[in-house]
Amino acid sequence: MNTLASRLKSAISTLKVSKGDFALEGGVRAATLTGYLKGETLPNQETLARWVKKYCISADWLLTGDGEMLADHQNPPLQHPLAQRVNQVALLMSESGVDELELLRAVRAMVDGEIDKLAQRRGGNGASTPPGGACRAEEESSPASATRMAAGDDSE
């Protein structure tokens, strides 16, 4: 697909969207879209950005024809450093063949450790020391706790 017009036609066809809806989402009139599809005029940056955002079209593909038509916006990169560390641990453990339960326990321990560090900096209770000083395992296995959980009450 060597022209913007041909890529726009392909996108409309692949997305199974009407030309009227495509024009509307781009913020242009149907006649203006027709001009783009015939290669008579070019859309402005705002119109292209609207289509990219609305339909998850790869901007690189739309502008140059390189790569895949549809961008992978469903899996944005992890931005938070803690999320990146958890993801790294989970990937390494998965690759080494650890079962899912052990992986989840390791991630929980990692998150609990982060909670403890933050709580200590703030002078409060950590993940392993809930309010009142009881151990997490004791609290979760107590009859009163089990009754509250079964009733949907997580208050103390």
Q: Give 62-106 as a DSSP string.
A: HHH--S-SB--TTSPPP-SHHHHHHHHHHHHHHHTT--HHHHHHH
pLDDT of residue 13: 94
Does domain 4-64 bear CATH number 1.10.260.40? yes
The residues near 105 (Cβ < 8 Å, ≥ 6 apart) are none
**pLDDT tens digits, residue range 30-88?**
999 999 999 999 999 999 999 999 999 999 999 999 989 988 655 556 678 888 888 88
Q: How far apart are CA 97 and CA 73, in angstroms?
A: 29
Note the pLDDT tens digit of each residue in 14-35. Answer: 999 999 999 999 999 999 999 9
Q: Where, residue-wise, is CATH 1.10.260.40 in the chain?
A: 4-64
Percent of the chain with pLDDT over 90: 45
- What is the identity of the amino acid at 105? R
pTM, rounded to two decimals: 0.48
- Write down how long the chain is: 156
| Average model confidence (pLDDT) across the chain | 81
Q: Which residues of 10-30 are buried (b: 16+ CB within 10 A; e: fewer)?
A: ebbeebebeeeebbbebebee
Say which amino acid occupies 41.
T
Residue 105's pLDDT is 92
pLDDT tier, 140 (very low <50, low <70, confident <90, very high otherwise)? very low
